[in-house]
Chains A and B, each alone.
Chain A
Amino acid sequence: DQQVKQNSPSLSVQEGRISILNCDYTNSMFDYFLWYKKYPAEGPTFLISISSIKDKNEDGRFTVFLNKSAKHLSLHIVPSQPGDSAVYFCAATNSGYALNFGKGTSLLVTP
């Protein structure tokens, strides 16, 4: 059963605007959450993470928000750039090594 869900398979955003990618999880034992970015023909690369003791983590244009009560996290990209066009995977773990991934959201940033 899918413990990490990304319900939007795709998202299109204009350059300069905000991209918001959403992720929901079902396992309340998850305590560390990550976002990976994947370009075609390449492996996923780590983007940003957040521990369950925080509700926000920011790194440049990328911010991840965590709402534990709703079991929801989101990735905000501001401003979006064409080079951000990629598939974004949400992942979660319970302090272990095993990453539970979502199916990914394909982001297209148009000029």
Chain B
Amino acid sequence: DAMVIQNPRYQVTQFGKPVTLSCSQTLNHNVMYWYQQKSSQAPKLLFHYYDKDFNNEADTPDNFQSRRPNTSFCFLDIRSPGLGDAAMYLCATSRDRGAYNEQFFGPGTRLTVL
């Protein structure tokens, strides 16, 4: 089945140690998104790629970066994780941008920062 895959499902890192989360998709969608969802909070969009074009949300900390080497893969890099970065990270894809383009979500990666 076509889907959005996130690896790993659980990631533990140390305070200040760089970490990379991975997302892949078999839907061949143009747009890939990264959301952060802290405990009991709403998912919050960090950034998205429209094809190779990177779009950062205004309030996304500089500590968070992303790479999209090809259509299928997108990575979330956290350069120096702090305790406040512990969260569920959700990857999503859509065929195109715009409200009417359904976003398909992966199962998420739960990040723990020690």
Contacts and interface: CB of A to CB of B under 8 A. Distances in A.
Contacts, number: 56
A43 B107 contact: yes
Contact of B97 (A32, A97, A101): A97
B5 to A, nearest CB: 10
Contacts of A111: none
Interface stretch (A60-68, A75-83, A88-96): A88-96
Contacts of B99: 31-32, 93-97
A52 to B, nearest CB: 10
B103 interface: yes
A98 B55 CA distance: 11
Given A103-B41, A104-B42, 7 more contacts: A41-B107, A43-B104, A43-B106, A44-B90, A46-B102, A96-B99, A97-B97
Interface string B86-102: 00001010100111111
Interface residues on A, range: 20 to 34
Contacts of A9: 40
Contacts of A104: 42
Q: Secondary structure at chain B's binding surface: helix, strand, loop or mixed?
A: loop
A45 B101 CA distance: 13
A18 interface: no
A43 B41 contact: no
Contact of B92 (A4, A32, A43, A95): A43
> Which of the listed residues A2, A36, A43, A100 has the most CB atoms from chain B within 10 Å of its own CB?
A43
13 contacts: A31-B99, A42-B107, A44-B90, A46-B104, A89-B42, A97-B33, A97-B94, A97-B101, A98-B45, A99-B45, A102-B42, A103-B40, A103-B41
